[in-house]
Amino acid sequence: MSNSDQFRREVSGSELDQIKAKYPEMVQKFDEIKKEANEPQIERLGETKGAQN
């Protein structure tokens, strides 16, 4: 990784931390949405496995 790539990664991480600190409700809602989006996939996976047997 070049120095410029490393710098961009560090700046992006720092900016992300600032956004999380400034908007904690948004972060919490985003985490809830991510969780909800993944749950149906997990349920379908179980149903598919059962149908194959």
User: What would the pLDDT profile of 10-34 be if each residue is shown by its tens digit?
Assistant: 767 788 888 889 999 999 999 999 8
Is residue 44 in a domain? yes
- Please report, rounded to a whole number, the percentage of residues in the chain having pLDDT higher than 70: 66
- In the structure encoding, which two tokens stand for residue 8, read together? 């961009």
Structural domains of the chain, count: 1
- What integer pLDDT is reported at residue 43 of this predicted model? 61
Residue 42 vs residue 19, higher pLDDT: 19
Cβ-count burial 33-46 (b if 16+ within 10 Å, e if not): eeeeeeeeeeeeee
Is residue 42 in a domain? yes
Is residue 37 in a domain? yes
Is residue 8 in a domain? no
Is residue 48 in a domain? yes
Is residue 12 in a domain? no
User: How much is the pTM?
Assistant: 0.46
Is residue 5 in a domain? no
Q: Would you say 27 and 20 are in contact if contact means Cβ atoms under 8 Å apart?
A: yes
The answer, yes or no, to whether residue 3 has pLDDT greater than 80, is no
Is residue 17 in a domain? no
The answer, yes or no, to whether residue 52 has pLDDT greater than 60, is no
